[in-house]
A and B are shown apart, each in its own frame.
Chain A
């Protein structure tokens, strides 16, 4: 009721404000693109600022900007962090198109750059965004990561409010949400499993990434489908000025990246690949020749300017993991995404992007125990989406974003495929489910005065199951029931055939609000609210991500998860905006979170709803963040004090219990320092309260086995987590030194020496109960990665 009232007020406010701002005085429009002068890459989030008016704009996800001004003569500033500011004097008599190329700030000038007047440096305070973090990909490359792999997600896990689900785990817990509450987008395509090697590395190749941004809260209306966060990653477009080859050779994998213009000024392409080679050495031994242990990924992208108003993009990602013994068993997974985009400029104020998106996540488990027991277990989720987004730049004080998207989902939670004729009788398949998701949104950014910025919008999502399936019917219409205080799977009484077509539709309004009160040029107070619906749920049967988990849709029994988050923050810059700081508090509620019942049978279970109890969650916290982004020394310190709990009927005596990834304290520090022009050092440190786990209280014997008796769910904590990593980067420019040999072609190169977990802390990966050497039942921790040195050589031709 409250939500529908809020939604109604949002819509009224929206139309009222748009009407007011749309029909104001006569204006001309300055618009165009902002690109990197070196490689032609469009710059996302660059600032356009007109000091006389105290107004400006930000370039969008395609580097496009538009600002409408009254006729007159203005100095217009274009700037972006790490680039030299450009000021152009423009005499407005008509609409003007202006393409701007920004040059990267030369290293030697960094310390003398006066930053106080740079608008982008004030973004922390002035931009109407909270709970949003953006790290420059160049900064990410300096952060020491396991085995020297540049990893966007691992870097994000060094920020407050974003915690790794475990040591060496790509999956993140954001502000106390579940690991499936995070929407991960690569060029708008959903990546369902962003992990390589059971989560030790992420699937994102640092060479192919241009920009990324994560929303921990205050999620704008154009995003939806997940309760906790959005990680929006954009791939590079490719160098449109010249052909370039770059790559890296590391201990674990090597990378190669090739990019260049398709037709100068018209388009560009990039092909970027990465592969591990550990398995290649295994083939040399008879004992290990059947071992499979590798991953690879490939990013490709091309873009082409069809006309001054139209641009096409094609991008794709394919990644594969494989582990096992080819003669006995093995498992693997792959993500495939493809995006075709069309940017169109209707006029200088109306920009559109229409995308067709494909996304597929596939998991296989092969078992070859005997001729009559050889099969592949497979599950997948596959999406086809069509979406169209519009940016309408009404005035410098008012921008409207609206759009629509349709997604067809296919879910295959499990099927067995015989690997030979003798195993044919094992072939079976769980029901393939399909669903149609529709989303409509409108978002208005309004600056009613010089000290207030409003961002408000609403999203309307509709999720319909598609028929042609068999639905299970349960005794008393209960998918689970209580027996002696324990949740048991419901008793199936019959099945019902659902005819093809739409059935069982869920829908809801999702209001969004961000508001910034500028206290002065160096401080502001921000607040946000967002409500989100999540119709897809990850079912995970093991304690960590092994790829075996599978996605299921909401249906008659499994309701959509609904999340609401309120956040407020104080933002302050210091030392002429060189240092930015913030404090944010948040509170989040989650409804219908799927809790897997104790001893659930998730192994090839068609009526998965009988193994799930819908519960609720709540999380709250306070995050402190201080960051320095310019100068020879950069880095940040983040601290989070948080609490995340869950509750479901029949679990833990119906009482609230700690979420298993709940961490009360989370402290991170990242620092990079340029010792000389060619030598820099970096380090990071993490301290976190140990994860919650369910402790053993007793033991008994049953069936000849010792059985552990557990106490209250997640009532104990593993020892605290802490770790320090360091790296040293030595840059070289061989082409300037060598005049002969292959080195004269190497424009840039660097050696990265890093040590992960410098002091060898044995952080808990998992807890096991077993007898010690004296046969005393004991608690053991398993730990990974103590003191891992690595070296990587990167080059660019």
Chain B
């Protein structure tokens, strides 16, 4: 998307007076450190985690400091079971006991105590829609100015869920996240089933991704609730890198965490698919 938008801007401001960018100094505003949470309760076994860190001053080049001394637990409000998360120094995240996985249609409530301050968040674990296990490949000729010729991948799905359900969809290939910078939507897409086909078979093609023979494409579908969807929508628009007039007004991201913590806590049903491109 960034490249497309820059292309348009380039068309606008031709010649020697093209738009340019230059570093400037600005005034300082008061800053205080805040807790940052990245947490997930997943329907995949041993995938749930809570990662805690803190903010840094804007111009800092230090690594984001991990928080290792917090007390973290998650309550399954359907069963009233408290799941304690302990810090795993190897994975640098808080983890529940081995073998834990979340259940769909359950609400999970996160509780973090750090420096005598309690931070909480709540997330509902909605089920995902059905995605065919077989992905379809299709060869596409090059388009000007991009994407180049190659294989595109299509998945078939059936969404019987009620309105409105949200999905965080991401894809990558060859065992890593895509670094295909020309993607119109980066490699993560937020779906809202009020804008897609429901209660009927449908298909979706990965936008602008072109693959070669032998590449393996991976897709991950995560159901998310409305508040988490709002967080990711804000994250994507604030970090899109859209230039000049296409940029959205700056704003701090919404969060489902209390007491001034930043980040998100999500409960999610995860569906994964992959396909190797064959001649």
Contacts and interface: CB of A to CB of B under 8 A. Distances in A.
Contacts of A718: 26
Nearest to B197: A425
B12 interface: yes
A541 B232 contact: no
A199 B12 CA distance: 11
A698 B248 contact: no
B244 A694 contact: no
Contacts of A544: 244-245
Given A200-B12, A702-B262, A328 B143 contact: yes
Interface residues of A, number: 88
B257 to A, nearest CB: 8
A788 B17 contact: yes
Among A331, A542, A715, the one with the most B-chain Cβ atoms within 10 Å of its Cβ is A542
B30 to A, nearest CB: 7
A291 B145 CA distance: 10
B213 interface: no
Interface string A705-738: 1111111100111110000000000000000000
B59 A777 contact: yes
Contacts of A776: 59, 61
Interface string A684-717: 0000000001111111111111111111100111
Given A370-B207, A716-B26, A596 B36 contact: no
A599 B251 contact: yes
Contacts, number: 220
Interface in A723-777: 762, 764-770, 772, 774-777
B252 A598 contact: yes
B86 interface: no
B34 interface: yes
Nearest to A279: B11
A545 interface: yes
Contacts of B230: 599, 601
A780 interface: yes
Contacts of B134: none
Contacts of B31: 697-698, 711
A410 B278 CA distance: 53
A544 B12 CA distance: 14
Chain B interface size, under 10 / 10 to 19 / 20 to 34 / 35 or more: 35 or more
Interface string A498-509: 000000000000
Interface string A540-551: 011111100000
A484 B36 CA distance: 16
Interface in A178-210: 197-200
A700 B252 contact: no
Contact of A697 (B17, B38, B57): B57
Contacts of A324: 8
Contacts of B152: 370
Contacts of A369: 184, 207-208
Interface in B216-247: 230, 232-235, 237-239, 241, 243-247
B254 interface: yes
B57 A779 contact: no
A710 B250 contact: yes
Given A325-B7, A599-B251, A708-B238, A698 B145 contact: no
A322 to B, nearest CB: 11
B30 A197 contact: no
Given A293-B12, A544-B245, A599-B233, A709 B262 contact: yes
Contacts of A130: none
A768 B56 contact: no
21 contacts: A327-B143, A328-B4, A328-B143, A328-B146, A425-B202, A542-B245, A543-B245, A543-B248, A596-B249, A697-B30, A698-B55, A699-B55, A700-B34, A700-B53, A700-B64, A709-B58, A709-B262, A715-B29, A718-B26, A768-B243, A780-B23
Given A369-B207, A599-B253, A780-B21, 5 more contacts: A291-B11, A484-B259, A698-B55, A702-B38, A788-B17
Lowest 9 A-B CB distances belong to which pairs?
A544-B245, A711-B29, A598-B251, A599-B234, A698-B55, A697-B31, A696-B58, A700-B55, A700-B36
